[in-house]
Amino acid sequence: MDALDTLKAKYLTAVANVGDEAGLEDLRVAALGKKGEISALMSGLGKMEPDQRRAAGAMLNVLKDEIDAALRAKKAALGDATLNERLRSEWLDVTLPGRPRRVGTIHPVSQVMEELTAIFADMGFAVAEGPQVESDWYNFDALNIPPEHPARQEHDTFFMNRAEGDNRPPHVLRTHTSPVQIRAMAAQGAPIRVIAPGRVYRMDMDQTHTPMFHQVEGLAIDRNISMANLKWVLEEFCRAFFEVPSVELRFRASHFPFTEPSAEVDIRCSWEGGQLKIGQGDKWMEILGSGMVHPKVLSAAGVNPDEWQGFAFGMGIDRIAMLKYGIPDLRAFFESDLRWLRHYGFAALNMPDLAGGLSA
């Protein structure tokens, strides 16, 4: 049957040459579809003599199977090719570095506030807040700094304007976080354990001073709190904050109107090759002021000094941030220079906690 050989050659060549699945389907319909060439030959069998029909039928079935097999093999091959093409064009390089984060960074001051809040929270201190525009009574008088006290001049205070004809003493931009001691005790009474981190203002500007800076106030009042408790709390804080195994603190007698006795606290450190190391060396650096809260301050806040006593301290946040993270110039903190922020900033969403590592 030459005709069948010709038909077979025609379809096998066409199947070999077809390039896509739609073309292949056309070929299947043309050969094996209801009106296809092979089907037409099959229906012609009915008119044949029985012997002829058996032989021709068998050959037609073989041809049909061969073409069918060729179509299926080609369909599988085209499927593989499609998949390979997708794999080639849609690949993903999992070794590429991740996309840089675009959510900005956490300012070192915010980072340090979170760190010290975590440390003091662990020692049972809550966070207290007060207004930045403060009355002179809270900022000075209640803290045992009467109107003619020289400390008022030392604070280089910013005064707010009063309306014309209003002769009350002007409000001030708070010069320290100490007024929050008064507000917290007045609101909560004793016993109390709080820290108050926040912004403070003084009219001063050079390499180590900016008109706005940050302090954290600490206050612990109970029935028999002593300087020993103060010393332990501060050592514990410094060790955790500077992330060193041990620190050494030096208490120097000093004077603040709101504490009696008062002490300034230095931390042992070394400056080798311009590199600051906390906890070792033969240098001392002042980091805070502290003391036992003055009875007049307790009274001003409505706490009975015959029943209650405790310690307070005040520390510069920007300064300890500079020390911990090796930041040389204070003024750069507040210049909003993106390059500085990217360099010294911290990853957003990494909340400092004692268990996970403060600055990890």
Q: Which residues bind ligand DAH (CB under 6 A)?
A: 176, 178, 217, 256, 259, 289-291, 312-314
CB of residue 200 to ligand DAH, shortest distance in Å: 7
Nearer to ligand DAH (CB atom), residue 301 or residue 312: 312
Residue with tokens 């070794």: 95
Residue pair 273/244 in contact (Cβ under 8 Å)? The answer is no
- 108's enclosing H/E stretch is helix 108-122
CB of residue 256 to ligand DAH, shortest distance in Å: 4
Nearer to ligand DAH (CB atom), residue 136 or residue 217: 217
Nearer to ligand DAH (CB atom), residue 143 or residue 240: 143
Token pair for 186: 């007045």
Distance CA(311)–CA(332), nearest Å, equals 33
Nearer to ligand DAH (CB atom), residue 56 or residue 234: 234
Nearer to ligand DAH (CB atom), residue 198 or residue 289: 289
Residue pair 180/129 in contact (Cβ under 8 Å)? The answer is yes
Nearer to ligand DAH (CB atom), residue 65 or residue 156: 156
Nearer to ligand DAH (CB atom), residue 27 or residue 200: 200
Nearest 5°: the CA angle 72, 74, 76 is 70
Within its chain, how far is the Cα of 255 from the centroid? 40
- Of 240, 203, 222, 228, whose CA–CA distance to 290 is shortest? 228
CB of residue 178 to ligand DAH, shortest distance in Å: 4
Residue with tokens 């001051």: 109
Nearer to ligand DAH (CB atom), residue 70 or residue 323: 323
Residue pair 297/144 in contact (Cβ under 8 Å)? The answer is yes
CB of residue 243 to ligand DAH, shortest distance in Å: 25
Q: Which DSSP letter does residue 104 get?
A: -
CB of residue 181 to ligand DAH, shortest distance in Å: 7
Within its chain, how far is the Cα of 298 from the centroid? 39
DSSP string, 311-324: EEEEEEHHHHHHHH
CB of residue 341 to ligand DAH, shortest distance in Å: 27
Nearest 5°: the CA angle 156, 157, 162 is 150
CB of residue 259 to ligand DAH, shortest distance in Å: 4
Residue pair 192/217 in contact (Cβ under 8 Å)? The answer is no
Distance CA(323)–CA(268), nearest Å, equals 13
CB of residue 167 to ligand DAH, shortest distance in Å: 28
Nearer to ligand DAH (CB atom), residue 7 or residue 219: 219
Distance CA(69)–CA(10), nearest Å, equals 15
- The residue with its CB nearest to ligand DAH is 314
Residue pair 134/174 in contact (Cβ under 8 Å)? The answer is yes
CB of residue 338 to ligand DAH, shortest distance in Å: 31
Distance CA(195)–CA(315), nearest Å, equals 11
